[in-house]
Amino acid sequence: MEYVQERIATLHEFGEGDGMSDALARDAAAAVGETAIVVPMTVREYESPAAERVLGELERLEPAPAAVFVPVRADDDEIGTFREWLGSFALPTRVLWCNAPGVDALLAEAGLAGDFGKGRDVWLALGPAADEGDSVVVHDADARSYEAEHVHRLLAPLTMDYEFSKGYYARVERNRLYGRLFRLFYEPLVRTLADTHDAPIVDYLGAFRYALAGEFAATDELARRLRPPRAWGLEVGTLGDAYEIAGFGGTAQVDLGRHEHDHRAVAGDAGLERMSREVAAALLRVLEEHGVDPDYETLPERYRAVGGELIEGYRADAAFNGLEYDPADERDQLARYAGSIAPPGSDARLPRWTEAPFAPSDVLAAARPWRDRRIGSRSQD
């Protein structure tokens, strides 16, 4: 347990007393009724124990949220059963079929066709969600330890006039350290850049305890001004926008305890190695936009040196806590991730909703085509 404050307000879970003060707890609970929650899913989450828990916990919120938007990527023959399952929960659910033909057509007509992934899915929901609530909470659906109280914790800073709130948590389970992409890629890369670049944006990105967490809350105004990368760079891109809009003084991070997530392989199209490439592109683009000019020729090797020092720290920490630890495997991951460090290339981010070429209502119509014709099963959305 510690109580260190970073450059941004850091709200700890000390485990003492009764939690939030009565007044703050009431404010956070009341805010739920004016909040839209976004929970992106793919077929991977369909009827999974983690997603079942997340939705079951959201059912416990009182008052109920203004809406729960579930942007879903699924094939035509899968969306009906997906909707039926989501409709079985007692929630004000709005299912958005992110790869519906109408959505693809809408984006193509606006010149926004291109790659798809988590970032695009969340963006499609952010516009409608910001119209539905005074605040927006976004979180992943793969946390087996999720609790409804996490919504209250994320919203609490917004009731204290912060504009952006980021969740952080420990990734320790199965007697091992997880959170590998953050520990072995993001953290050593940001530290490496901080060694040679004295820039506020580097300080901001380095202040987050778990920058790659999928859980955050934002005011509706901030949510409308996010420009998400289309895939796995979503979390880092969000931090870059939050820096511009909220800055150090308008940002808080909140302790969400210990999370147990589904785990990914390192290699493969859905693995951490591919994710590292997209995280690197998003991170380096944010830095370049704010005046940081990395030396790409030397950066990978310097990153590996800093990462090696961190691995020694992780080894000692694991031993201190009686955890299993494989330094050789971690060094292998470090080498793999080093290959992701390169200039970010062309910018394919989606626009701010304040500048979008169509309205959130157009997305709702395109992403819920069953409103106009028979596709899949009946549902409350």
pLDDT, tens digit (0-9, with 9 covering 90-100), for 87-99: 999 999 999 999 9
Q: What is the residue whose two structure tokens read 């035509």?
A: 76
pLDDT (0 to 100) of residue 372: 52
pLDDT (average), residues 363-373: 83
What does the alpha-carbon distance between residue 28 and residue 134 come to, in Å, rounded to a whole number?
Answer: 13
For 206-228, give one letter per residue: b (16+ CB within 10 A) or e.
bbbbbbbbbbbbbbbebbbbbbb
> Can you state the angle between helices 234-245 and 118-132, rounded to 10 degrees?
40
* Alpha-helical regions (H) of the chain: 22-32, 49-58, 76-86, 101-109, 118-132, 149-159, 180-181, 187-196, 200-206, 220-223, 234-245, 272-289, 299-320, 327-338, 360-367
Cis-peptide, bond into residue 63, ω within 30° of zero: yes
* pLDDT reading at 376 higher than 50: no
Mean pLDDT of the chain, nearest integer = 93
Q: What is the pTM of this model?
A: 0.94
Q: Are strands 251-258 and 93-97 parallel, antiparallel or unpaired?
A: unpaired
pLDDT digits (tens, 9 = 90+) for 173-225: 889 999 999 999 999 999 999 999 999 999 999 999 999 999 999 999 999 99
The tokens for 252 are 């808080």
pLDDT digits (tens, 9 = 90+) for 328-342: 999 999 999 999 999
pLDDT (0 to 100) of residue 156: 98
* pLDDT reading at 71 higher than 70: yes
Quote helix, strand, coil % in the chain, to nearest 5.
45, 15, 40
Domains of the chain: 9-371 (3.90.550.10)
What does the alpha-carbon distance between residue 71 and residue 89 come to, in Å, rounded to a whole number?
Answer: 16
